Structures are given as structure tokens and as C-alpha cells.
Amino acid sequence: MNPVDPVYPYGPASVSGVIKASPVDFVVTEELGFEPSGEGEHLLLQVEKTGLTTADLIRRIAADYSIQPRNIGYSGLKDRNAVTTQWLSLHLPGRAAEVSDPSGDAYRVLRAARHRAKLRRGTHKANSFRLRIREVDDCNETCLRQLDAIRGQGMANYFGRQRFGRGQDNVEQALAQLSAARMKPMRKSMLISSLRSHLFNCVLARRISQGSWRQPLDGDVFMLRGSRSIFSEPLDAALQRRYAELDISSTASLYGSGRSRLSGEALQIEQQVFSENTAITACLDRHDARLQMRPLRVAVDDLDYEFDKAHRLLELRLRLPAGSYATVLLEHFMHAVEG
């Protein structure tokens, strides 16, 4: 079962380019959204890395600080082939908050501060990006129109292809392997996430195909921009205005146990997708996944771009909420391949 082919709201891409030709072409900075408390059993590290996955980084720092990887928390996963800055928490009760000298040059500690709690997945607020796309022949009128539409109307909040593994086969692997008696927690979590992501992407693609993405539906549950707060209210002129201004966006379920707050047409679309994927829903039911909500679109903050025609270079700067993908944004207007 391959990942769903995304349907994008502003028409097909009309340009192509190369991303990640060098790690410095893909720069990501994680924004916590809060300040460390300054005291507590955990040491928060702001770390810049190159050429490492987040799992690689955790193993390296665990060795350098002489602790177990399980005692290191993180908020988001970051790319290997990029220059990324992210936060980690190290459980160091009773130990001085010294900053280790790394055993190589693949990472460096930018900041260290004590904190009361371990970092959990998804606790950061946003990621800022500086992207350089090479071998771009031209930013034609269609491309410029699509970029302006993204700036004004937001982007479809698909899970990126990286969620489904190098071979794009995580869904098949999940259905085959999640019945195993023993599995590393990180591996199990990744496979369950792949199943939920697949279902969400199916719902999102269907809503765009049916023309029900740019406006809310009766029965929608809304998420407030800049937060994870959700609410449901009957549609009226005020809600329609807030939707048009990107203050709120419709959500869809990350499948799991719990009562959905969706109703009406919004619920019918989801139930149809779930009924077409009973092997996935049954697997998730067996593993007690808990229902969550994810916005179907997100605002792209601080989007700016510059095209250097002589060097065929398109540079973008932007900011996305945690859990959204810059590579998905690129797919709204570009056929991008990795260098």
C-alpha cells in the first residue's frame, strides 16, 4: 500500500528544482516557544547538527554525556542532510550542568540551561527554514501565483513523504510487523504514526478533490492558529470570516480510540476513508492509538522568496508550526528532487 498521492489546492507544479544539494541549502531552526525554567533535573541543550538524524544525535550525545539514550528527550525529528538546530533534554539529577565537548564536528552545543521537565514529542512551537533550491529554470507566472496563494491562503498540511520511510513502504511494514511480540519503542511509534498519517493524508486529499478545503464544512472541528486549541460551533458569518483570515482552520482526525467531535459532512468524509482502510484501522485499534486532531491547512508565516535567474537559484525563508513539512510546501508549486 503506497502513500496516497497528494492533491494540491493551487494546481499542478510547473517548475522543477534540486533541494539539499548541500546541507547548507536546507537550514532548519526549532523554536521551543518557551524559555527553560533555569532549574530542575533536566539539562536542555540547543544543538546544531549536520549529517546526523535526530536518533544519531541522541546516541552521540548519550555517549558524550555518559547517560542512556532513554534519558534524552526531544521535541521534533530533524533531517540528516541539512543544517538543523533543535533542543534536547538530558536527565541529569544531581550532576553539574557542564557542557560536554563533542567527540566530533557533526554537532555543537549552542546553549545549555536547566529545566524542570523532559521534552516530549511535539512540544516545540514552530520551525523556521532557509531553503535554497538549485537548477530552477524559471519562476514562471504559475509558480509566482502559487507562492502568493500559499502566502495568503496557507498550505495543505499533508504529512511528508519522509513519514513513510525511504522505500515509502512503512504502511506495509506496520501491518506486517506490529503483531511482533517485541519491538523497540521508537520503531513501534514510527510505524503507528505512519498508519495514522496515511489515513489523515487520504482525508485531506479527498477534501481538496471535493472542493471542501478552502472553506469550512458543517460539522467541522476547528483549530486556532498558533495553538492546539480546538472547538466546534455552527457555521455563521463570523466563523467564515475567521476562516478566510486564517485565524482558524478545519481539522481531521489522527485515528484512534475516543469520541470524535466531528459531525455532519465532515464526519461522513472521514468515516468513508476509514471504511476503505479497515486493515489499518483494525491494526491501530489493537495498539490502542488515541484520537487526536490535526489541522487540514496551516498558515505559512514570514514567507519570502528571491529568484536569482543568472544562477538558477530560488531562495525561500518561511516559518511553519511544529509538525508541518517544508518539503510539502515545496510540492505545492515545484517538482523537487534531492541532490
The 3-state DSSP class for residue 110 equals strand
Average pLDDT over residues 83-108: 80
Q: What is the pLDDT of residues 282-312, one digit of tens each?
A: 999 998 889 999 999 999 999 999 999 999 9
Residue with the larger pLDDT of the pair 14 and 179: 14
Res. 105 pLDDT band, cuts 50 70 90 = confident
CB-based contacts of 184, cutoff 8 Å, min separation 6? none
Is the pTM for the entire model greater than 0.85?
Answer: yes
CB-based contacts of 210, cutoff 8 Å, min separation 6? 269
* The pLDDT of residue 78: 93
Q: What is the pLDDT of residues 181-232, one digit of tens each?
A: 677 777 888 899 999 999 999 999 999 999 989 899 999 999 999 888 999 9
* The pLDDT of residue 148: 95
Q: Which of 25, 56, 79, 105 is catalytic?
A: 79
Residue 5 is a catalytic residue: no
Res. 103 pLDDT band, cuts 50 70 90 = low
- How far apart are the C-alpha atoms of 40 and 149, rounded to whole Å? 45
What rounded mean pLDDT belongs to the chain?
Answer: 92
Tell me: pLDDT of 339 over 90: no
CB-based contacts of 188, cutoff 8 Å, min separation 6? 178, 287
Q: At what angle do helices 170-177 and 185-209 cross, to 10 degrees?
A: 130
Res. 177 pLDDT band, cuts 50 70 90 = confident
- The closest alpha carbon to 199, from 223, 161, 171, belongs to 171
Q: Which domains does the chain have, with CATH numbers?
A: 34-124 (3.30.2350.20), 156-298 (3.30.2340.10)
User: Are 31 and 318 a contacting pair, CB within 8 Å?
Assistant: no
* The pLDDT of residue 1: 59
- Sort 317 into a burial class: Cβ within 10 Å, 0-12 / 13-18 / 19+: middle
Q: What is the pLDDT of residues 20-61, one digit of tens each?
A: 999 999 999 999 999 999 999 999 999 999 999 999 999 999
Q: What is the pLDDT of residues 143-175, one digit of tens each?
A: 999 999 999 999 999 999 888 887 888 888 888
User: Are 222 and 232 a contacting pair, CB within 8 Å?
Assistant: yes
Q: How many helices and strands in the chain, by DSSP H and E?
A: 8, 16
